[in-house]
Amino acid sequence: MHLARFPRLRFAHLPTPIEPMENLSRLLGGPKLWIKRDDCTGLATGGNKTRKLEYLLGDAIEKKADVLITQGATQSNHARQTAAIAARMGMACEILLENRTGSKDRDYLVSGNVIMDRLFGARLRDYPAGTDMNAAMQTVAEELKAEGKRPYVIPGGGSNAIGALGYVGCALEILTQASDLGLKLDHVVHATGSTGTQAGLVAGFAGARTGIPVYGVSVRAPRPAQEANVYKLVEATAEHLGIKGAIGKEAVVANSDYVGDGYGVPTEGMYEAMRLFARTEGLVLDPVYTGKGAAGLIDLCRKGHFKSSDNVLFIHTGGQVGLFGYTGPFDDMLSRRNDAAG
Ligand SMILES: *Cc1c(COP(=O)(O)O)cnc(C)c1O
C-alpha cells in the first residue's frame, strides 16, 4: 500500500491530533475513549472530505480539468470543502444541492455550509429530494463540455476508489500515531454515509493486517445496504491499491440503529451525544454525522459492547458548521434539556 504512487495535492493540516477523552470515559464508566480530530483538517473549517479531495484533485489536475462538479445534501460538508479547494485552485465549481430533508427552515437553506459555498464563489443549483443526482451531474457536465470547459465530476462525498485513498492514508497515520503514543487500539468507530471514509479505513487497517476493527454508524441507509455499499468500495479501493481480493466481507460492520427518521433528521440520541461531548470535553459535534455516530458510540459503551480496558478511537469527521443550519431544533432541545436539569 504505497500511497505515494498516486497523484495527490496537499490541502489538509496533517497529521490531525489524537486526544484522550478522559472525562467522557469516566462518565460512561469505560472503555478508554480517544478522539481523532479530523474536524481539524484545516481547510474551510475542516472535515473528512479534505483528505479524499487531495487525491481527487491530484487526478483532476492530471486530467487537466478546469471546473469541478459535485453534489450533496443542502448542508453538505463535502460541497463546502470542494468549493474551498476550487477557489484555491482557481477552478470554477458547480455544486448541485438536494434538499434531502425537505426543510423550509431559513437557516437550513442559507446558513451553515451554504453561506460558505457561496462565499467561496461556487455556483449552486437546487434540486428536490429524490432527484437522481448522478444523472443531474452528468447533464451539467455535458452543458459545460458544450461550452468548451473540461469538467471533473466528483461523486457525492468524494466516495470512489480515488477519494477513499485519503482514508487509507488516515488509517496509516493513525497506526503511526498509536505506535508513537504506545496506544494499543482495540476499536475504531465513526459515522458512515457515502462510504468513502469507512472503505478507506477498512482497506488501510485490513490491508496492513492490523486486525483493528472499524465500526461504522450509519447516518442514512439500513444496515444491509450500507454494509454492501461499503464493501463494494472496499473491493474497488483494494484493487486500486494493488491488493485485489485481500479483504473479506467480514471486515465491514455498519450499524444503522441510530439513523432515526432519516438522513439529517435530528434524534434524541444525537442531541444527548452533542450535549455530552460539549459539556465533558468541550468538543462540538455536528447534527447530521458525528452527533449520530457518537450516539452510537455512547449506546455501545452503555450496552457493554466494549471491554472496560479497551481503547476505542472515535473519528471526529467534522461538520460543525452544519450546526448553524439547525439552530431552530437546537434551541428547542437546549431549552428543554436545561429546564429538565433545573
Ligand atoms: C461526509 C461526512 C461523513 C461520512 O463520511 P463518508 O465518507 O461519506 O461515509 C461523516 N462526518 C461528516 C461530518 C461528513 O461530512
pLDDT single digits (tens) 204-239:
999 999 999 999 999 999 999 999 999 999 999 999
pLDDT tens for the chain, residues 1 to 342 = 899 999 999 999 999 999 999 999 999 999 999 999 999 999 999 999 999 999 999 999 999 999 999 999 999 999 999 999 999 999 999 999 999 888 899 999 999 999 999 999 999 999 999 999 999 999 999 999 999 999 999 999 999 999 999 999 999 999 999 999 999 999 999 999 999 999 999 999 999 999 999 999 999 999 999 999 999 999 999 999 999 999 999 999 999 999 999 999 999 999 999 999 999 999 999 999 999 999 999 999 999 999 999 999 999 999 999 999 999 888 888 888 765 553
pLDDT of residue 339: 59
From 50, 117, 162, 194, give the residue whose CB has the most ligand 1 atoms within 8 Å, as the site to mutate: 194
DSSP 148: T
Does the Cβ of 81 fall within 6 Å of ligand 1? Answer: no
From 37, 49, 71, give the residue whose CB has the most ligand 1 atoms within 8 Å, as the site to mutate: 49
Sheet holding 187-192, edge to edge: 18-20, 32-37, 311-316, 187-192, 214-218, 253-255
Does the Cβ of 255 fall within 6 Å of ligand 1? Answer: no
Distance 329 CA to ligand 1 centre (A): 21
Does the Cβ of 289 fall within 6 Å of ligand 1? Answer: yes
pLDDT of residue 76: 98
Cβ atoms 202, 190 nearer than 8 A: no
Q: What separation in angstroms does the CA of 240 have from each of 166, 206, 227, 235?
A: 13, 15, 20, 9
Q: Tens digit of pLDDT for each residue in 276-289? A: 999 999 999 999 99
Q: Tens digit of pLDDT for each residue in 99-110? A: 988 889 999 999
Does the Cβ of 50 fall within 6 Å of ligand 1? Answer: no
Report the distance separating Cα 7 and Cα 241, nearest Å.
13
Distance 324 CA to ligand 1 centre (A): 17
Does the Cβ of 191 fall within 6 Å of ligand 1? Answer: yes
Residue 338, Cβ neighbours under 10 Å: how many?
Answer: 10
Sign of CA dihedral 21, 22, 24, 25: positive
Q: Tens digit of pLDDT for each residue in 178-192? A: 999 999 999 999 999
Residue 97, Cβ neighbours under 10 Å: how many?
Answer: 24
pLDDT of residue 342: 37
Distance 300 CA to ligand 1 centre (A): 20
Does the Cβ of 277 fall within 6 Å of ligand 1? Answer: no
Whose CA is closest to 82, among 51, 112, 128?
51
Alpha helices in the chain (DSSP H): 22-28, 49-62, 77-89, 106-110, 113-119, 133-146, 165-181, 196-207, 223-241, 268-281, 290-302, 327-340
76 among known catalytic residues: yes
